[in-house]
A = this chain, B = another copy of it.
């Protein structure tokens, strides 16, 4: 009894392989492989015997070996800014992947360029069938050789810099236009914009679109457009500038979710009085007082389109590169319809 103790408390007892199953069932390896892959050209009595052996031994085919041999992984990667945060695009990717019989390997870049690089290279080493990336940073030329080697890659939300790949993103300019015109229709003439840094692609596009709106209506651009870092201080300062300047704004467009939240936190109870339209929908937007009017991206469609583009690229590596722009829509809840 005393000797047995150490004996069976061993590290993972090796799993059975196809050879073991073949021996157990008294057939050739090849036949087991056929049964595992549902090849119909196997006699029913063999099938039964082999399935029994598989169950008896609790055999699970080693996916890595199959992948190595067949060359495909049936797995796609998604390098997004955050898994584990509200991310309907990622949810849509996961759904689309599942429906297509693909495994999804999702990783967070955490807004870190170096980390994005590491994740992408790691995914290359894992020989994934393709990758969807929500790009961070400005320099993606290191992907050039991978693309040349045939890596199927799709950019989501932002284009990749320096390389030409399939891309899906929202119609930022149209969204800003919708927000601006909504507020104009509600009587506002001094409409301010606070948004993300112009070093970020979407921050650049949205700020530019907002300036274009102002110009088109003959409004002075000068003190109404405030792109920059999303910090409590910077957003607070921008808010002070637009609300307490000599010619205060009467309404506000916020350029993304983080800006919206920073503004609401800064305003506190005052938020009930300032007309706001936010870019990006916000979780619990309906529970705020007033409920938040937003320009919502069609994130579900963005994610689904990303997978579609990726599948098409995998199927036909030489097809022409495509950029899909997904429309945005407005969700009216109250904050954008306040009378100032």
Contacts and interface: CB of A to CB of B under 8 A. Distances in A.
Given A103-B122, A284-B282, A284-B288, A145 B58 contact: yes
20 contacts: A12-B151, A13-B150, A58-B148, A60-B121, A61-B125, A62-B127, A82-B91, A83-B90, A83-B106, A84-B91, A85-B85, A85-B87, A86-B86, A91-B108, A94-B108, A103-B122, A261-B284, A283-B283, A283-B284, A288-B288
A317 interface: yes
Interface stretch (A64-72, A206-214, A232-240): A64-72
A124 interface: yes
A221 to B, nearest CB: 30
Interface of A: 9-13, 15, 58, 60-65, 67-68, 73, 82-88, 90-91, 94, 103-108, 121-122, 124-127, 145-146, 148-151, 261, 264-265, 269, 282-284, 286-289, 317-318
Contacts of A126: 63-64, 103
A267 B164 CA distance: 51
Given A58-B148, A86-B283, 18 more contacts: A9-B317, A10-B317, A12-B151, A13-B149, A13-B150, A15-B149, A58-B146, A60-B121, A61-B125, A62-B68, A62-B125, A83-B106, A84-B86, A84-B87, A94-B108, A103-B126, A104-B107, A284-B287
A201 B60 CA distance: 30
Q: Name the 8 nearest CB pairs between A and B, nearest first.
A: A12-B150, A9-B318, A84-B91, A84-B90, A58-B145, A84-B87, A63-B125, A63-B126
Contacts of A82: 91
B106 A106 contact: yes
Given A15-B149, A125-B62, A86 B85 contact: yes
A88 B83 CA distance: 10
